[in-house]
Structure 1
Amino acid sequence: MRNVLVFRTNINSDQRIHRAACRLCKLRGICRWSIDLEDCDCVLRIETESLTESDIIRLLTKAGLQCTVLN
């Protein structure tokens, strides 16, 4: 069963998108991901079968990006 995880981020530039993409594409368990640059919260949506919100936050924080759960 796929879960959709939704986050508020500071991924709002080509450099930050590239930084996030390099990490997200290497993770097993991500089926699909997208960033909504039109939204003021730069919303990151991830479809996953196995990863948790904490996994994603930890990964992106290590990459120097801000990421918090969006309820």
Structure 2
Amino acid sequence: MLVFRTNINSAQRLHKAACRLCKLRSICRWSVDMEDRDCVLRIETPTDSTNPYSEQAIIRLLTKAGLQCEVLT
């Protein structure tokens, strides 16, 4: 599971994220907790080695959409 801190705190930003994330076939499921102060984005990916999406790839994808995203440790 990949976990990120984001600024996805509105319906408009959620829509921007959804437009990008729904196009990625290797994502099993994703969610954003907009009630959390970190607006946590969780992404479930396959556990095998065929997953082409790294944390940095997700960050780049969402940053290009004008969203803030960083790995939550």
TM-score by length of 1: 0.93
Please list the CA deviations of residues 12-57 of structure 1 after superposition, one character each: whole Å capped at 9, or x if unmatched: 0000000000000001210000000110000000001212101100
* One-letter code aligned to 1:42: C
The answer to whether residue 23 in structure 2 is matched with residue 26 in structure 1 is yes
SS in 2 for 1:57: helix
Runs of 4+ in 1 over 3 A off after TM superposition: none
Q: Which residue of 1 aligns with 2:5?
A: 8
- Determine the C-alpha separation between the residues in 2 that align with 1:33 and 1:55: 15
Q: Which moved more, 1:48-57 or 1:11-20?
A: 48-57
TM-score by length of 2: 0.90
- Determine the C-alpha separation between the residues in 2 that align with 1:62 and 1:28: 19
1:52 to 51, 54, 58: 54
- Determine the C-alpha separation between the residues in 2 that align with 1:24 and 1:70: 18
- The unaligned stretches of length 5 or more in structure 1 are none
Q: Which moved more, 1:48-57 or 1:4-13?
A: 48-57
What is the RMSD of the two structures over their aligned residues, measured on CA atoms? 0.6
- The unaligned stretches of length 5 or more in structure 2 are none
- Determine the C-alpha separation between the residues in 2 that align with 1:57 and 1:13: 18
Q: How many correspondences in the alignment? A: 68
